[in-house]
Amino acid sequence: MTEAHPPGATVAPAPRAQRQTERVADNRRTARLRPETITAVCVFGISILLVLGSRFVSPALGSWDHVNTIILLASFLIVVAFGQGIVIMIGGLDLSVPALITLGGVLTTSWIDASSGMSLPLIPAILLICACIGGISGLGVTLLRIPPFIMTMATGIITASAALGLTSGTPRGAAPPILTALMKASWIGIPVILLFILAFAILGSVLQGRTSYGRRLTAIGANPVAAHVAGIAVRSSVLIAYMLSAAASGFAGMMLAGYANGATLRMGDDYLLPSIAAVVIGGSSILGGSGSFVATIGGAILLTALSTVISALGIPQGWRTVIEGSIILIALLLLRENTFAFLRRRLAR
Amino acid sequence: MPNWKRKLSLCAAALCTAAVSLSLTAPSASAQDKKFKIYLSMSYSGNSWQSEAANIVKALAATPPYDKTVELTQVISGTDPQAQIAAYESMIAAKADGIISFPISSTALNRVIHKGCEKGVKFFMYDATVTEPCAYNVSYITAGFGENSAQALVNALGGKGKIFLSRGVPGNSVDKRHTDGAMSVFKKYPGIQVVDEYYSFWDDRTTQQETAKALAAHPDVDGIWAQAGEYGAIQALMDKGSKLVPMTGENSNGFRLALANPDFQKRGLKGVSAGSPPASAGYAFKLMMEALTGKRDLKPGNIEYPLPWVPADQVKLCKGQTFEDGCNAFPEGVVPSSFVTEVFSPTLLPELSIQSALEGKPTPGATIQPLPADVPKAADEPGINCQKCEPPADQYKLTKVQPTVNP
Amino acid sequence: MSILATKAAATSHRLAPSMPARAKALLASGTGIIIVLYIILYGLYSIWDPTALTADTVLNLTNNAVPLAIAAAGQTLIVLSRGFDLSVAGVISLTNVIMAAYPLDGPLGAVESLAICLAIGGVVGLVNGFLVAVLRLQSIAATLATMIICQGLSLVILDAPGGTVADFISYDLTDVLFGVIPISGLFVAAVVVLWMICRRTAFGTGLYVVGADETAAHLSGINVKRVRILSFVIGGMLYGLAGFMLSAQTATGNPNAGASFLMLTFAAVALGGTSLSGGRGSVIASIIGAATLMLLQKVLFAGGVSSFYTGIFQGVVLVLAVVFGNVVTHFVERRGAT
């Protein structure tokens, strides 16, 4: 009834290495479309179709205003999914996301007084605290070899309980003006949040795709042993990944505080599964080693657009939920790799 | 406590290091006089409402004379009914005298409650209810929040318009009772059109996001009927532009201040603040203690807490830390906007102050005052507070407001 | 190397090693460690709470843990073949509301209800298996969609908690046999026996090999698709059984009943030492992992931990449990190597 296994059997299995070599070979042939790019295009394509099609649900939908609402509501998910995506890239999973969103929001509203000018130095300080908690997860995963699932779940539970204890249940204060401006202000008619998400998308993609750190993450996710043999500092890279994820969640908490002008202790609860879903719908492998941030953003926007359209259907909640699940399933089937192979063959002709 | 140290050292041996340095709050009952062992079982904690209710109970348990006679332990079990069942079992095994609780499910806990009653444990449920007949339900649910607020909204809209329903948690009996009550009114008016109905999980931020989604599809909405989280709906309207619409909601301080704000009124906001009061937890606790100490002979059953009802023109700011002279909201900055204002009651809970609701501290100098002799009975409602029973014929009777427009 | 590891794992039981080696292997495996942990926690519990060893407490603990334990057993099958199954939450909600909305009384009714629950779980599992094995969707994404759909259907069937489960199921199945044996525990025992048989079949071996290395499994002639689909179907049926047992315990329907099982099943699986990247672990360890999670609440309560400290302790204990396991494994393997 027990499973004997020789020492060191915990290392990742071999086939990922194989897949990775295929993919690396694939990447070098830049003339060919990368699967990540096709996924990204398809996810955005489905989202646009959904938004255009939503006019049939309600005439007010499908407008520029609707798009703005989607971007605003998706912005939190995009920021969270950036961090979640990095952790998934290295073959981990971050379950502490909800707790860190809450921590970021609660610390912001309780420490930063709306009237004082201390918000600029305090925002990085709060992000650093969040990153340190992510660092604890990272240390547990790397040094103590605790499975990421258990480790991040534990840091999440501990952080959430500490936040509950610190606030005695009622977070005080309001959001600083700079965060309210980020979420609500406009600049020559363009919402600031749209510009911010664009900048964030560019920075995030560059970090994941164009820096040596990003390439290290891909290598570690594909095969940690091979990455180690190849001289990559696996431990510190993994540690930084968890810190980045925690800081991203903390920042999403700040954005939520700016949006709602206050913090609540359950403000992060709705982002755990969607953050994983956005990454996976964006084509990343849950086992690590592949994925692109742009496609993840597409996944986040698709999920948010879907929820705005579903919300406008005048049918009972149960059926709405059934339809939501079915559309996610259809989108997944459309995004299948075989569909891409078919497309690629078509394009190659 | 002879084995207290042994406990600690064993714990240290087994679990080692840091965990233990957080002091274990091992029961510290003094041997000389018997204390009442009371457990506060919360299903989840994390919104203002839940914490305020818990803080009120903690503050009352620390107010003389209960500070000497009550040993209160708080247990948070999360949103999992299984966990709350396990918590109740532990409390019964620990020979609790009374359990005061916010039940996560109206039905799933019945069996363990029944077992507890047989062992002489008193179960007092606040706000949410259970259908087990041996428990005491102290709640406003039967007081008609849904139908009264719906009628007030219909009155404000003149009997016609497009409205949103901002509901609570899908598949929840309280949400269903409120919505059924409201729909009983809306259905009478063919001019009232429910164009969107969404679930906001009784949370400000979720309400804001869900209302924003609904506004994308229906920017021309005329009114909003909301359960708790209503302040988020106002923020969503303001995010969209300057127009506000008549709306009804529950008791957040932000909503009450908004109702009383002349600028907002000019932009179209009017309505009523009503709904779930955290103070019912305090009332339940005091009732339980009077029953336990033999000051009151109370049979298990359904007890109604009065429905708070504050129309816009009756919002009155408090100057101090308590509800004095009939004031019912606090100035901005004193409490967060999500703070649920219905935490005091001059007749039922004169012992409390703002510090009680925010931090669970007793009011200096206060002592426990006896409750009025009369305990209002709540109507039976199947699935809410009884199992095999018939609802009264006038279940959705209006009590706070009368129709001013004809269908 | 990992192929070797699985081969070793797959054949170890046939080699029948000497007793000390076997004990050592047991101790180093997830199952051994979680059993030791459970005993330690129960020891603490019985020191702090004198009622811990009474039949009543054991019955309560068993009844509480059974739904999670069975659900975690099902999840283990999918995790072993390197997948995630989120549909566990949906299937439990769906079977729970069906049990409450359409109660069938008497022993025969119980059998019929059980068959319905197993069928629902099996069908959902078949859909999952088809999506994952044939259409090659990622398991976490495909099962997320089926979970949402099942949740929606539960809400359609029952839009608020209510209904009553048949008395025979809710009373007789949560009672004790001969005054000591919890009947619900027999269901878990049945799952364990089935697993021990299954473990020795081609499917059982295939599960580990597929989880460790799909390509190698394919090359060595294992029908990977069949193994995967079967793992989802059996897993689904176990969720159905978990929903059945949950209904017996709560005696009522709740369209959100399954939601809390999502994270807890994974926690139970991981606590039992099953690797979430597949190929290594045991159903039995997950069952004890689930029991440990439920016991932990009682231990913390008996230890006087209250309020928000409960969460902090839960987190710390989770981490310490795994560290403890790692240390023991390391130690035993060291000794074995020299």
| Domain carrying residue B68 | 37-140+278-307+343-359
Q: Does C170 touch chain B (CB under 8 A)?
A: yes
Name subunits touching B (3+ CB pairs < 8 A): A, C
Q: C256 versus C152: which is more confidently predicted? A: C152
Chain B: residue whose CA lies nearest to A304: B213
What distance in Å separates the CA atoms of residue B287 and residue B139, rounded to the nearest whole number? 13
Contact criterion met (CB < 8 Å) for B81 and C60: no
B157 and B257 share one domain? yes
Task: Quote the pLDDT of residue C58.
Answer: 87
What distance in Å separates the CA atoms of residue B358 and residue B335, rounded to the nearest whole number? 9
Is residue B364, in this structure, part of any structural domain at all? Answer: no
Q: Does B108 touch chain C (CB under 8 A)?
A: yes
Of the residues C45, C151, C297, the best mutation for testing chain B's interface (the one with the most B CB atoms within 10 Å of its CB) is: C297
Q: What is the mean pLDDT of residues A120-144?
A: 93
Task: Quote the pLDDT of residue A348.
Answer: 67
Is residue B109, in this structure, part of any structural domain at all? Answer: yes
C 306-325 residues inside an 8 A Cβ radius of A: 307-312, 314-316, 318-319, 322-323
B269 and B150 share one domain? yes
**Contacting residues for C141 by C-beta, under 8 A, at least 6 apart:** A277, A280, A281, A286, A328, A332
pLDDT at A64 over 90: no
| Domain carrying residue C199 | 2-7+23-337
- Lateral strand order in the sheet of B136-139: B70-76, B36-42, B98-102, B122-126, B136-139, B302-304
Q: Does C335 touch chain A (CB under 8 A)?
A: no
- B93: which chain C residues are within 8 Å (Cβ-Cβ)? 49, 51, 57
Q: How many domains is chain B partitioned into structurally?
A: 2
pLDDT at B192 over 80: yes
Q: How far is A323 from chain B (nearest CA, A)?
A: 15
Average per-residue pLDDT for chain B: 86
Lowest-pLDDT range of A155-159, A189-193, C13-17? C13-17
pLDDT at B18 over 70: no
Q: Does C63 touch chain A (CB under 8 A)?
A: no
Q: Can you count the helices (H) and strands (E) in chain B?
A: 13, 12
Select the residue of C8, C208, C323 nearest A144 (Cβ to Cβ): C323
Q: What is the mean pLDDT of residues B198-227?
A: 91
Q: B77 versus B13: which is more confidently predicted? A: B77
Is residue C76, in this structure, part of any structural domain at all? Answer: yes
Contact criterion met (CB < 8 Å) for C160 and B108: no
What distance in Å separates the CA atoms of residue B284 and residue B123, rounded to the nearest whole number? 10
Contact criterion met (CB < 8 Å) for B218 and A184: no
pLDDT at B292 over 90: yes
Q: Does B54 touch chain A (CB under 8 A)?
A: yes
pLDDT at A201 over 90: yes
B266 and B295 share one domain? no
pLDDT at C52 over 80: yes
Task: Quote the pLDDT of residue B194.
Answer: 93
What distance in Å separates the CA atoms of residue C232 and residue C85, rounded to the nearest whole number? 8
Name subunits touching A (3+ CB pairs < 8 A): B, C
Contact criterion met (CB < 8 Å) for C149 and A321: yes
Q: pLDDT tens digits, residue range C297-317?
A: 889 888 888 778 888 988 998
Q: How many domains is chain C partitioned into structurally?
A: 1
Q: A181 versus B326: which is more confidently predicted? A: A181
Question: Percent of chain A having pLDDT more than 90?
Answer: 44
A–B: how many Cβ contacts below 8 A?
A: 108
B235 and B283 share one domain? no
Q: pLDDT tens digits, residue range A257-313?
A: 999 888 888 888 889 989 999 998 988 888 888 888 999 999 999 999 999 988 888
What distance in Å separates the CA atoms of residue B229 and residue B338, rounded to the nearest whole number? 8
Could you tell me the pLDDT band of residue C1, with boundaries at 50, 70 and 90? very low
Highest mean pLDDT among A123-137, B348-362, B370-384: A123-137
Q: pLDDT tens digits, residue range C230-267?
A: 999 999 999 999 999 999 888 888 888 888 899 899 99
B91 and B167 share one domain? no
User: Partners of B198 in the beta sheet?
Assistant: B166
Select the residue of C40, C64, C162 nearest B85 (Cβ to Cβ): C64
Chain A: residue whose CA lies nearest to C137: A336
Is residue B382, in this structure, part of any structural domain at all? Answer: no
- C283: which chain A residues are within 8 Å (Cβ-Cβ)? none
- A313: which chain B residues are within 8 Å (Cβ-Cβ)? none
- C159: which chain A residues are within 8 Å (Cβ-Cβ)? 316-318
Task: Quote the pLDDT of residue B387.
Answer: 80
Could you tell me the pLDDT band of residue B25, with boundaries at 50, 70 and 90? very low
Contact criterion met (CB < 8 Å) for C307 and B106: no
Q: What is the 3-state secondary structure (H, E, C) of C244-268?
A: HHHHHHHCCECCCCCCCHHHHHHHH
What distance in Å separates the CA atoms of residue C226 and residue C325, rounded to the nearest whole number? 33
Quick one: tokens of C73? 């057993």
B152 and B269 share one domain? yes
Could you tell me the pLDDT band of residue A7, with boundaries at 50, 70 and 90? very low
Select the residue of B54, B198, B208 nearest A169 (Cβ to Cβ): B54
Is residue C14, in this structure, part of any structural domain at all? Answer: no
Q: Does A115 touch chain C (CB under 8 A)?
A: no
Q: Are A167 and A103 in contact (CB under 8 A)?
A: no
Chain A: residue whose CA lies nearest to C267: A150
Task: Quote the pLDDT of residue C227.
Answer: 92
Of the residues B107, B198, B387, the best mutation for testing chain C's interface (the one with the most C CB atoms within 10 Å of its CB) is: B107
CA-closest candidate to residue C269, choices C32, C78, C24: C78
Q: pLDDT tens digits, residue range A268-280?
A: 888 998 999 999 8
Task: Quote the pLDDT of residue A342.
Answer: 67
Q: Does B239 touch chain A (CB under 8 A)?
A: yes
The CATH number of the domain where B171 resides is what?
Answer: 3.40.50.2300
Chain A: residue whose CA lies nearest to B77: A161
B238 and B291 share one domain? no
Three-state secondary structure call for residue A309: helix
Is residue B80, in this structure, part of any structural domain at all? Answer: yes
Could you tell me the pLDDT band of residue C20, with boundaries at 50, 70 and 90? low
Lowest-pLDDT range of A72-86, A192-206, A283-297, C22-36? C22-36
CA-closest candidate to residue C228, choices C6, C77, C74, C86: C77
Q: pLDDT tens digits, residue range C182-192?
A: 888 899 999 99
Could you tell me the pLDDT band of residue B258, with boundaries at 50, 70 and 90? very high
Task: Quote the pLDDT of residue C277.
Answer: 78
Q: Does A12 touch chain C (CB under 8 A)?
A: yes
Select the residue of A161, A277, A287 nearest C312 (Cβ to Cβ): A161
User: Partners of B223 in the beta sheet?
Assistant: B163
Q: Are B186 and B194 in contact (CB under 8 A)?
A: yes
Select the residue of A18, A146, A157 nearest C314 (Cβ to Cβ): A157
Contact criterion met (CB < 8 Å) for B220 and A60: yes
Q: How far is C73 from chain A (nearest CA, A)?
A: 14
Return the number of other C-beta atoms located less than 10 Å from residue A178's C-beta: 15
CA-closest candidate to residue C72, choices B1, A69, C80: C80
Of the residues C59, C66, C246, C256, the best mutation for testing chain B's interface (the one with the most B CB atoms within 10 Å of its CB) is: C256
Q: How far is CA A288 from CA A47, A105, A231, B118, B255, in A?
A: 25, 29, 19, 54, 46
Task: Quote the pLDDT of residue B367.
Answer: 92
Is residue B183, in this structure, part of any structural domain at all? Answer: yes
Contact criterion met (CB < 8 Å) for B26 and C304: yes
Return the number of other C-beta atoms located less than 10 Å from residue B371's C-beta: 17
Q: How far is B164 from chain A (nearest CA, A)?
A: 11
Three-state secondary structure call for residue C63: helix
Q: How far is B331 from chain C (nearest CA, A)?
A: 30
pTM: 0.86
Q: B179 versus B27: which is more confidently predicted? A: B179
Chain position carrying tokens 């959705």: B396
CA-closest candidate to residue B136, choices B147, B128, B145: B128
B214 and B292 share one domain? no
Contact criterion met (CB < 8 Å) for A2 and C212: no
Question: Percent of chain C having pLDDT more than 70?
Answer: 90
Task: Quote the pLDDT of residue C18.
Answer: 56
- C212: which chain A residues are within 8 Å (Cβ-Cβ)? 13
Amino acid at residue number C120? I
The CATH number of the domain where C40 resides is what?
Answer: 1.10.3470
Task: Quote the pLDDT of residue B171.
Answer: 76
Quick one: tokens of A7? 């020492």
Average per-residue pLDDT for chain C: 85
Could you tell me the pLDDT band of residue A89, with boundaries at 50, 70 and 90? very high
Task: Quote the pLDDT of residue B9.
Answer: 47
Task: Quote the pLDDT of residue C22.
Answer: 67
**How much is the CA Rg of chain B, to the nearest whole Å?**
22
What distance in Å separates the CA atoms of residue A200 and residue A27, rounded to the nearest whole number? 24
ipTM: 0.83
Highest mean pLDDT among A337-346, B293-302, C1-10: B293-302
Q: pLDDT tens digits, residue range A30-62?
A: 445 677 788 888 889 999 999 998 888 888 888
pLDDT at C10 over 60: no
Lowest-pLDDT range of A247-256, A270-279, B11-20? B11-20
User: Partners of B74 in the beta sheet?
Assistant: B40
pLDDT at B13 over 60: no
CA-closest candidate to residue B173, choices B219, B105, B234: B105
Is residue B328, in this structure, part of any structural domain at all? Answer: no
Could you tell me the pLDDT band of residue B333, with boundaries at 50, 70 and 90? confident
pLDDT at B297 over 60: yes
Instruction: Tell me the H-state helices in chain A.
Output: 15-28, 35-53, 64-89, 97-111, 119-142, 148-167, 177-184, 192-205, 212-222, 224-229, 234-260, 272-281, 293-311, 317-334, 337-348
Task: Quote the pLDDT of residue A26.
Answer: 45
pLDDT at B323 over 60: yes
B293 and B201 share one domain? no
Contact criterion met (CB < 8 Å) for A311 and B51: no
Chain A: residue whose CA lies nearest to B218: A60
Could you tell me the pLDDT band of residue A202, with boundaries at 50, 70 and 90? very high
Chain C: residue whose CA lies nearest to A153: C315
Return the number of other C-beta atoms located less than 10 Å from residue C115's C-beta: 12
Name subunits touching C (3+ CB pairs < 8 A): A, B
Q: What is the mean pLDDT of residues C215-229?
A: 89
Q: pLDDT tens digits, residue range A226-240?
A: 998 988 899 999 999
Q: How far is C29 from chain B (nearest CA, A)?
A: 20
Select the residue of C26, C284, C322 nearest A146 (Cβ to Cβ): C322
Q: Are B274 and B147 in contact (CB under 8 A)?
A: no
Task: Quote the pLDDT of residue A116.
Answer: 62
Of the residues C77, C131, C197, C277, the best mutation for testing chain A's interface (the one with the most A CB atoms within 10 Å of its CB) is: C277
Contact criterion met (CB < 8 Å) for B46 and A264: yes
Q: How far is A106 from chain B (nearest CA, A)?
A: 12
Question: Percent of chain A having pLDDT more than 70?
Answer: 85
Q: Are A216 and A227 in contact (CB under 8 A)?
A: yes
